[in-house]
Each structure stands twice: as C-alpha cells, then as structure tokens.
Chain A
Amino acid sequence: MSPEIIISCNHLTVAYEDKLALEDVTFDIHRNEFWGILGPNGSGKTTLLKSMLGLVAPVSGSIRVLGVAPANLGPLRDKIGYVPQHSQVDFNFPLQVREMVLLGRCRKMGLGKRAKKEDYEAVDKALERVEMSAFARRQIGRLSGGERQRALIARALALEPEIMLLDEPTAALDVGVTEGFYEWLNHMHSQLHMTLVLVSHDVGVVSQFVSAIACLNKTLVAHGRPAEVLNQESLEQMYGCEVMLFQHGRVPHMVVPSPAHQHEHQHH
C-alpha cells in the first residue's frame, strides 16, 4: 500500500489579475516525503507554495491539502508549519526569539488567550530542535542570517506540524553554509517524520538531499525522484535554454547554461 496522499494538485491553474502564474499542474505529495520545488525566477514556485497555504485561490483545477481545499483548512491549519522567505520578515522589530517562536502558535492558543505551560514547552522544544535555546532572549535583529533562518523554522516547528513548507530557505545564507543547512534539514526530516516541501532555485544542492522534485516553469516540466527527473531534457525545458550538467553519481551536482548559450547571450 502506498503512503497517504498529503497534498494533491489536480490540473491546478493560478493567475494574478489576468497574468497566468501556474498552468495545469498535477502531482501528489505523500506522507513523510521531502520535496524540492525547483524552477527559475518567475516560474510559479512561490505561487504553488501560496496555493498550498490557501493564500491564493486557483482559477481552475484544484488543490487539496490533508484532503480539503486550503482555504477551508480551519483547525487543520495547525498541522502546517510555514517558513517564509527572509525578506518577508521585519527583523528590526522589537521582539525576542522566544516571543517570535511563540507567535507560531498564535491561532492554536485561541483568540484572546494567553500562552499556557504547554505552549511554552512546545516553544522550548522547537528552539532546542534548531539548536537555538541559547538565543531565546535575544532580539531577532541581532541574529546572523543562519540563526534567523533557524528561528523561523522553530516558529513553524512550535506548532508540531505534520507538514512543513519552506520558501527559498537558503536565500539569505552564504554559499558555504547552504549545503550544511540542507544536510541539517534532511537530518531533521528523518527524525521528525514530517512531510517537507521546499521551494528553491538551487537545483544542484537541493537535489542531493530531497526524496522527490518537481520542476516548474509555469507548467510542471517533470516530477519524481531526482535521479530520474534531472536530465538534460527536463532541465533545458525548465530553464528555457541549453544547460550543462556536472555530476558525480546519478544526480547532477551543478547546472550551468551551456557555453554556446552564454556566447549567444553576450552577442544579444
């Protein structure tokens, strides 16, 4: 028996005003999988994530998260942790790490209710999980890029979610620590038995760690296990140009535009 379907897109089409952002996307994400949604800028990756969160509605087709349309999730929302892009969050805000992580449970605590012992316990556990307990009392603006990222992940973990959605989690990290971050995320995934979905344009690094990928360029170019999906053809379709793959083993490690393509570009 195959594991339970957690997120299911069925001919999903999304548009902003009259501009198409996603077209006819169909695929399923199963419980405990670790998905990388890959694609160039403007390919609709973030839109797909926002659809899963119910922040944008489909114009046609459908999306189901935990069996229901995201806009109607209701209390099921507590099963979803969301880690936004760095730039979405105002780190100059007068807020300490522990308070920020507690806000992840805002709805769960109930309207107008104050935090209880169990809320603080969940927060401290989340901080421990991301190795940030020592920073609990620090103002969020005084954290480094990597620490900010982990604090945002702790905020999502504070809900003890079944699904975690991450939007470009390495956008604010230095190249040197990106790989380490994914290793850490992979380790956390194997410990917590969560369904992880992350959006990235970083094809090379992400595909080393995830269990499945979806390549987007408005439409779904390809999806499945990295080794099966990442080939010359699908990548060229995704980026809309000729590419070169550098690989050790079966998964491409680095993808660059082919010299012929770069040459062409310089002449334009």
Chain B
Amino acid sequence: MDLLQYAFMQRAILSAAIIGTVCAAIGVYVVLRSMSFIGAGIAHASFAGVSLGFLLGVNPFFTTIVFCVGTAWGIAFLSERRKVHEDSAVGIFFASTMALGILLIGLMKGYNVDLFGYLFGNILAVSSNDLLISLIIAALVIGCIWFFYKEFLLLTFDPEMARVTGLKTKMLNLLMMTLMAVTIVISIKSVGIVLVSALIVTPAASAYLLSTDFKNMMLLAILFGVGSSWMGLLLSVWFNLASGATIVMVATLVFFVCYFMAAHRRRHKFSGRTRS
C-alpha cells in the first residue's frame, strides 16, 4: 500500500468518500421521485458552465454552479406551470446547454484545456482546493437532508399530502433541486459530466431493491456509493483504467448483484407461502 503515501492518492480516497456519500444520499430522493433524467439533464448543463469558465479564465467551479443551479430552477419553473412536461423541460435544457458549451469552446483560440477530464472525470487530478470546496458543499447538502429529513420524506412519498398538511412544497422542491445541482457540480471533476448521474442513481437504485424502510435505504445507498467509489478507485489505479468509468462499472455490478438477490428473496418468499 505504498500508494497511500502519495498526496494525490489520499485526496482521491477522500474525494471518493465525500462524493460517494453525497451522491448516494441525494440519489435516494432522485430514485424515489423518478427524477433520474433530471439528474442527467443538470449534469449535462455543467458542460456549458465548464466551457464558459475556460473561456473567461476563471475557476470552472463557479461558472458550473451557476449553470447547474440555473438549469435545476429552470426545469422546476417550467414543469410547475404544467404547460410543459417535466421530461420535455429536461430534454430542452439537456441539449441546449450542451450546444451552448460547444459554441463557447468554438470561441476559444486553440483549446488545449482538459475538457476530456471534465467529460469523463479524473479523480486522481482532484486538487486540495477542489477537495475543500467539495467537503464544504457536501456538508451543507447532508446538513439540509438531516434538517429537513421528515419534510423531504413526506414530499417524496406523498406530495399531495405534503401540500395538504401545509408544508411549503414549492420551496422544499426548489431546495431539493438545488441540492441535487450542487452535488453534481462537486462530483463532475471526479466522475465526469457524462457519468455523474450514474453515481447518483445506481447506488440508490440498488438500495431500493433491498430496503423496506427509508432510513435503511439511505444508509445502504451511502454504503454502496462509498464502497463502489473506493473499489473503483483501487481498480483504476491497479489496472491503469479511467477512474470515473471504473467507479460507475463497479456500482453497476453492485446493482445487478442486488437485483438478483432481491429476485431470489422474492421467489423464496412465494415458494414458502405456497407450502404453508
């Protein structure tokens, strides 16, 4: 384990833990509310943000956060009016922000920036500055989930009931979308624009298959998220593979294991019932 002596490796391990936790936690709501397409849409919006950051010569983090949060609010606003279906709203933002990103890149003189790194992620390239920012934002996201635990749960489980009991559902919804957007922003450096939605959806979807209660699902999702991230990181270093892609493949493998476990458990239950 000489690898652990390298600062970049220590940062990567920490980053994997932070991102694995926060993506999985947000992912629980994304999966239960069937919002995975929104996640992908917001992630792709970050492409325009990254391009703009490079063009202006500022840290892409700040431009990306504007684009991602803006897209999240735009989707929420458009689908709130009910004139536009939510998935149409996502489709529109998804493509137009990508198009904007490509146009912005075209404006740059020869582009020698690491766009590929942003598209597919490189967890080994995370700087200590990146790490600090993602730690602060992740703490904020987890803090909000902790504070609004029962409100978010009711909003996810039964939105009509949430309105009937008098919760400020519009505000809570907007907050949840914002948390999702900032989670995506801090994750793209490590797993990439294209792959980040997998890290949000897959661990939570795996946990959903095995859970009968919400807290369990949340904890299991985080376990899967952090586990897949660490495992993926290790494999990518050992076999010299792309880190983001390896992490996503490990998470996907976990999903299929859970899927077959759940199917087996169901079969077992039914065969037991016919016997009794």
Contact = CB atoms under 8 A, between A and B. Distances in A.
Contacts, number: 72
A88 B160 contact: yes
Given A94-B213, A112-B148, A77 B157 contact: no
A94 B167 contact: no
Residue among A77, A96, A106, A114 having the largest count of chain B Cβ atoms under 10 Å? A106
Nearest to A115: B150
Interface in A66-108: 73-74, 77, 80, 82, 84, 88-90, 93-96, 99-100, 102-104, 106-108
State the main secondary structure of chain A at its contact with B.
mixed
A103 B213 contact: no
Nearest to B159: A88
B161 A103 contact: yes
Interface residues of B, number: 25
Q: Which of B149, B150, B160, B208 has the most CB of A within 10 A?
A: B150
Interface in B202-224: 208, 211-214, 216-217
A94 to B, nearest CB: 4
B2 interface: no
A252 B30 CA distance: 50
Interface string B55-77: 00000000000000000000000
Given A103-B153, A103-B157, A109-B150, A55 B163 contact: yes
A29 interface: no
A203 B162 CA distance: 30
Contacts of B153: 103
B165 A107 contact: yes
A73 B214 CA distance: 30
A95 B166 contact: no
B157 A90 contact: yes
A99 B211 CA distance: 14
A107 B157 contact: no
A96 B166 contact: no
Given A112-B148, A139-B213, A100 B157 contact: yes
6 contacts: A94-B208, A95-B157, A102-B150, A109-B150, A114-B150, A139-B212
